[in-house]
Amino acid sequence: MSRKSISTLAVSLLALATSIGAAQAQTSVTFWHSFNGASGEALDEIITKYQAQNPDVVIAAEYVGNYNDIVARLQAAIPANRGPDAVILEVTRYGLFADAGVLADLTPYFDADPLKDELYDYAREIGVIGDKAYIVPFNSSTPVLYYNKAIFEQAGIEGEPALGTFDEILTAAQTVNDALSADGISGIAAPGQFARWGLVMANDSDLIDAMSGEILLDAPNTIEAYEWMASLVHEHQVASADGVTEEDNGRDAFLAGRVGMMFNSTGNYVGAREAIGDDLGVLPMPCNKVCSVPIGGAGIGIMATAAQDVQDAAYDFVSYAASAEANAIWFAATGYLPINRNSAEQPVAAQALASQPGIDVAINSLPNAHGRARTPVVTWMRTTEYDMWQAMALGQREVEETMVQFAADTRAEEAR
């Protein structure tokens, strides 16, 4: 072999060794999330952009299921030491894991991160319990009221409808039902749990007080709101019972043009717009007694068991995901709220605001938006509430009796 060939071979081997060394130096972050479809594609775009800027980090993202699925899988994985490094956690459920010491305290990262000054006040607040930050918000939402303009017009409701109180919503639902039920169209979808929480807040109450932790399930205004919600199904029959037993049924029926209106997350905006087009109307949640809406969605937490270099890499990705660049991509693709004050200045977000009527309704509701309780008992309460709601909405149990017992059971669970 010639001297030149030997030299070329040596250079090639050195390049290969350098390449292998770089690959070995990469830090891998296993990330569990709950996004598929268009949301999953938007998350993939964000991850791709991050990795292009940070080739030494690999974000190994895995779709696990919905928020409930993530909680269940995480609870099963932790004892076996098979959990992820980072995980999406719904904003009322992460307290369960923070209390158990499963989540890393992100306060030192967050305090040193210039990002904190870019976030809206609500986005800085919802990840904090006591004086510690456990999640950084990623997908934030409020419920809004969607309606189908074409269905309303067919039912004889002209122009933008008045849907600011419970009575006005019921009247509109009855009008649609009376006019179009023979065609298989119902007035309203049974409200899902996020919307139920919002309707209780609109009736000047709460399920659990966000600041004091007081259980308010049996407060008079809470009971009154549940009585109204249950009446949509059992008494007035303007909402289908199958949307009670399976909440996605109501949403799917609305998207298929078989329901006049629904309460749902702003995160459903893009899907609703694609399904209904220009006939989609979006209004704020009703202000029945007060104007108050809950902040929903989720944030990203980091597992305390992850190695320090993995935690460092994971937070770097979390910070990028909340940046104006990434958040604008997410907002435009999904309709979830901007969490970063500078997101709207990004071209993709500005285009979405200009071209998608109604995508700003939730943003305009932010002055009335509030974080919700996230103490450990909230996870138990939310799981149990589904069964309580079903019994009330289907007329199997009286509302006041059910809510009084539910409140007592929740207090007992909290005391354990």
Q: Where do we find the tokens 């409200």?
A: 191
Q: Is the pLDDT of residue 10 over 70?
A: no
In a domain, 316, yes or no: yes
Q: Is the pLDDT of residue 286 over 90?
A: yes
342 with 195, same domain: the answer is no
What pLDDT, on a 0 to 100 scale, did the predictor assign at position 6?
38
How confident is residue 8, by pLDDT bands cut at 50, 70 and 90? very low
What pLDDT, on a 0 to 100 scale, did the predictor assign at position 13?
36
275 with 168, same domain: the answer is yes
What pLDDT, on a 0 to 100 scale, did the predictor assign at position 3?
39
Q: Is the pLDDT of residue 364 over 90?
A: yes
275 with 300, same domain: the answer is no
**Distance in angstroms (rounded) separating the CA atoms of residues 408 and 416:** 13
In a domain, 7, yes or no: no
How confident is residue 381, by pLDDT bands cut at 50, 70 and 90? very high
Boundary residue ending a domain (320, 336, 363): 363
290 with 156, same domain: the answer is yes
* Mean pLDDT of the residues in the chain: 93
What pLDDT, on a 0 to 100 scale, did the predictor assign at position 129?
94
Q: Give the least confident one: 9-13, 316-320, 375-379.
A: 9-13
In a domain, 159, yes or no: yes
247 with 163, same domain: the answer is yes
What is the pLDDT averaged over residues 155-171?
97
128 with 159, same domain: the answer is no
In a domain, 371, yes or no: no
What pLDDT, on a 0 to 100 scale, did the predictor assign at position 15?
41
**Distance in angstroms (rounded) separating the CA atoms of residues 298 and 97:** 14
326 with 247, same domain: the answer is no
Q: Is the pLDDT of residue 1 over 90?
A: no
What is the pLDDT averaged over residues 273-280?
96
Q: What is the Cα gyration radius of the chain?
A: 24
Domain that holds residue 94: 24-140+296-363
pTM equals: 0.89
121 with 178, same domain: the answer is no
What is the pLDDT averaged over residues 7-26?
44
What pLDDT, on a 0 to 100 scale, did the predictor assign at position 338?
95
Q: Tens of pLDDT along 250-267?
A: 999 999 999 999 999 999
Q: Where residue 203 sits, what CATH number does that domain have?
A: 3.40.190.10
What pLDDT, on a 0 to 100 scale, did the predictor assign at position 39?
95
In a domain, 406, yes or no: yes
Q: Is the pLDDT of residue 24 over 90?
A: no
What pLDDT, on a 0 to 100 scale, did the predictor assign at position 51?
97
185 with 271, same domain: the answer is yes
Q: Is the pLDDT of residue 301 over 90?
A: yes
**Distance in angstroms (rounded) separating the CA atoms of residues 36 and 71:** 17
Count of domains for the chain:
2
**Distance in angstroms (rounded) separating the CA atoms of residues 296 and 300:** 13
How is the beta sheet containing 296-302 ordered, strand by strand?
A: 57-63, 27-33, 86-90, 296-302, 136-141
Q: Is the pLDDT of residue 93 over 60?
A: yes
113 with 256, same domain: the answer is no
55 with 155, same domain: the answer is no
In a domain, 87, yes or no: yes
In a domain, 12, yes or no: no
72 with 155, same domain: the answer is no
What pLDDT, on a 0 to 100 scale, did the predictor assign at position 64?
96
Q: Is the pLDDT of residue 7 over 50?
A: no
How confident is residue 9, by pLDDT bands cut at 50, 70 and 90? very low
In a domain, 6, yes or no: no
